[in-house]
Chain A
Amino acid sequence: MDHLNSTFFDGALAFAILAFIAVTATVSIGSYRRRGSAVDVGGSLVLGPGVRGWFLENLQPFEDLCVQWHISPAALSCAQLAGSIVVAACYARGMLFTGGWLLLFTGTLDVIDGRVARRTNGSSARGAFLDSIIDRYADAFACLGLAAFFRDSWVLWAVLLALLGGLIVSYTRARAEGLGAVCRVGLLQRPERYVILGFGTIFGALCEPLTGPWVAGQHYSMVILVVVALALLVNLTAVQRVVHVWRTLGDGQHG
């Protein structure tokens, strides 16, 4: 009886969370779009300018707080690294919802540290270098956690492929910039990867009681679909970047 009560409670809570996310996101992003934005925040196929602008607008109070409290960008980067280790631990223990939510939080810290550095004129080569290294570790920790969770399944290969693709995407840009070329193209850049993996694991964990094992008899079917899609799309992005840099360097249009 207790088990049934617990299952009912968990299902009701999961439904309430889904409803809360849907209502809050719809109302909040809708309101932002109606107001419009004077600032060009860029955009991509996955994350359009509306969502990016809304996200950055919501970060404003925290940026102000970091500037006011003299929190250095390096401290934010270190917090991101610590958060990523917690994400890996959550994923490895099967806490996919919590891990996904913390993954989005660590991604947010990455955005805030850059913006705080610019606002406090604290941008430096050393800070940029530290930030890139921590970003790679953060990417790897998330994938390592998922790899530990799916260690007995074929999904492990998809996770490792996603990890490899993510590293190649980043390396391609770094190498291209080292050779004097600009490389900011690609379907899934880092923010898009975070959003897809973060929300994929959040919704996958919440919908698990509904979906069940319908992908090759595996539990967490929705998470598996997201991981496989991510593995494919990240590697497609890597190929896109390689082709772009190849053409740019061939034309001699560096920079």
Chain B
Amino acid sequence: MAESVSDTNALAGKGKRVTGTFLLMLGAGIVLESSLRWTGGMIMFAGAAAFVRGLLDIRPQTAARPHPHVAIDAHGEGRL
């Protein structure tokens, strides 16, 4: 069965959240346990950004829906 657009986006969102968590934790470890605090901070920031982008992908996708300006007639066909 073919994956829908929302399935694909959900999968991509999951990947971003997991990558974000990994980077966030790795950066935190570097900040806490080494002298490379700025490097760790940058990695944490990148991880947090990826995580937040992944969270935004959880929202229902609008890409697969008809444009709001496209009216749907009785036969389900769009017309301008």
Q: Which of A20, A24, A65, A97 is in CB contact (< 8 Å) with B15?
A: A65
Contact with B along A58-69 (1 / 0, CB 8 A): 111110110000
Interface contact B14-A60, CB-CB below 8 Å: yes
Contacts of B11 in A (CB 8 A): 60-61, 64
Interface contact B14-A98, CB-CB below 8 Å: no
Nearest A residue to B14 by beta-carbon distance? Answer: A61
Nearest A residue to B44 by beta-carbon distance? Answer: A13
Q: Beyond A61-B14, A97-B28, A98-B26, is A24–B21 a contact (Cβ under 8 Å)?
A: yes
Contacts of A105 in B (CB 8 A): 22
Contacts of B26 in A (CB 8 A): 98, 101-102
Q: Beyond A60-B11, A62-B15, is A98–B29 a contact (Cβ under 8 Å)?
A: yes
Task: Count residues on chain A whose CB falls below 8 Å from chain B CBs.
Answer: 23
Contacts of B18 in A (CB 8 A): 58-59, 61-62
The yes or no answer to B31 lying at the interface (CB within 8 A) is yes
How far is it, in angstroms, between the C-alpha of A206 and the C-alpha of B70 when the chains are bound? 55
How far is it, in angstroms, between the C-alpha of A105 and the C-alpha of B24 when the chains are bound? 13
Q: Which of B15, B25, B32 is in CB contact (< 8 Å) with A61?
A: B15
Interface contact A10-B24, CB-CB below 8 Å: no
The yes or no answer to A138 lying at the interface (CB within 8 A) is no
Interface contact B32-A13, CB-CB below 8 Å: yes
Task: Count residues on chain B whose CB falls below 8 Å from chain A CBs.
Answer: 17
Q: Which of A10, A17, A57, A58 is in CB contact (< 8 Å) with B25?
A: A17
Q: Which of B12, B14, B22, B29 is in CB contact (< 8 Å) with A97?
A: B29
The yes or no answer to A81 lying at the interface (CB within 8 A) is no
Q: Which of A20, A96, A97 is in CB contact (< 8 Å) with B24?
A: A20
How far is it, in angstroms, between the C-alpha of A13 and the C-alpha of B31 when the chains are bound? 9
Nearest A residue to B22 by beta-carbon distance? Answer: A105
The yes or no answer to A94 lying at the interface (CB within 8 A) is yes
How far is it, in angstroms, between the C-alpha of A14 and the C-alpha of B29 when the chains are bound? 9
Contacts of A98 in B (CB 8 A): 26, 29-30, 33-34
The yes or no answer to A205 lying at the interface (CB within 8 A) is yes
Which of A57, A58, A65, A97 lies at the interface centre, i.e. has the most chain B CB atoms within 10 A of its CB? Answer: A97
The yes or no answer to A95 lying at the interface (CB within 8 A) is yes
Interface contact B33-A94, CB-CB below 8 Å: yes
Contacts of A57 in B (CB 8 A): 14
How far is it, in angstroms, between the C-alpha of A61 and the C-alpha of B57 when the chains are bound? 14
**Min CB distance, B42 to chain A, in Å?**
15
Nearest B residue to A14 by beta-carbon distance? Answer: B32
Nearest A residue to B26 by beta-carbon distance? Answer: A101
Interface contact A101-B33, CB-CB below 8 Å: no
The 7 closest A-B pairs by CB, nearest first: A61-B15, A98-B29, A95-B33, A97-B29, A101-B25, A61-B11, A58-B18
21 inter-chain pairs at a CB distance below 8 angstroms, sorted by A residue, are A13-B28, A13-B31, A13-B32, A20-B24, A57-B14, A59-B18, A60-B11, A60-B14, A61-B11, A61-B14, A61-B15, A62-B15, A64-B11, A95-B29, A95-B33, A97-B32, A98-B26, A98-B34, A101-B22, A101-B25, A205-B33
